A = this chain, B = another copy of it.
Amino acid sequence: MLNLLEMEQLAAFAEYGTLSKAAEKLNVSQPTITRTMQHLEEEFGVSLFERSKNHITLNETGRRAVSYAVQLLKDAEKAVEDVQAFERSLHTITVSSCAPAPLWRLLPALSDAFPDMTLSSSIKSNASVLEDVKSGRCLLAVLPDIPEEGSIPETYRSRPFMKENLAVCVPPDHMFAGYKEVSFEVLNGYNFLLGTRLGFWDDMCREKMPASRFLVQTDQFTMQELIRESSLPCFVTDVAEYDEKIYGNRIVIPISDQEAKITFHIVYDGTDKKYAPAFAQLFDS
């Protein structure tokens, strides 16, 4: 039977051209490679090399054998990696969410319900979350609406999870400071501070206020500094606790549009024997 260690030496010889180089690269003695090449010819039952007195080259058959050797090595490596990844996946609950806020409630609940499992979450656009659901890359998805008919397999369940309302947050001397509420239409054209990792809120703001510019801050401290020191409006929601240290005396004005009042939905595979019952208990209430 073929031996992958021998395959590796064959591949190394093919790559480096001489037995000596291959031996050096693989940290074995040069006679070892000689022996292995001889043994490979026995294994394959054909001659793989052209030999002159002090030179050895792959012949046409040898080159073909090399291509198989390389492929087998890749496959074997991939097998190990995949088995390890599968093992990890058995102990991991993967969540893809369209926004950060649902995770603040969801992750503690999951951690409580599945104390032995690793939780892995990521925030991405609605489209990416949908893809993750469909491909099975996540076990739980959080989307801002009930997914459209046909956008996900029928076996998946969708359950309302929590509401979140978007608001703008302005300094007391800002022209909006006295408003009870404000619409996207009115806001459109003003520039905003925008933190990263807002998921779909990010997309929605750009869509609803195409004339506005969003000054994206990747660094959290910079963001906080700008909130204090600039008069630019920023966004908050009713789910995040309002932190005076950050927002100082800024004033929160709810956005009046329906689109700014979101009910997040949890989506999961209703036929998953391992998780569906537990998820049902968690989310069906």
Contacts and interface: CB of A to CB of B under 8 A. Distances in A.
A61 B44 contact: no
Interface residues of A, number: 29
Interface in A79-104: 79-80, 82-84, 86-87, 90
B8 A84 contact: no
A89 to B, nearest CB: 10
Interface in A119-169: none
The A interface is mostly helix, strand or loop, or mixed, namely helix
B80 A61 contact: no
Given A72-B72, A87-B61, A80 B44 contact: yes
A109 interface: no
Question: Which of A44, A75, A86, A87 has the largest number of chain B CB atoms within 10 A?
Answer: A87
A43 interface: yes
Interface string A2-17: 1111001000000000
A2 B84 CA distance: 14
A83 B46 contact: yes
A216 interface: no
A13 B206 CA distance: 58
Interface string A23-47: 0000000000000000000011111
Interface string A63-74: 011001101100
Nearest to A43: B80
A46 B1 contact: no
Interface of A: 1-5, 8, 43-47, 60-61, 64-65, 68-69, 71-72, 75-76, 79-80, 82-84, 86-87, 90
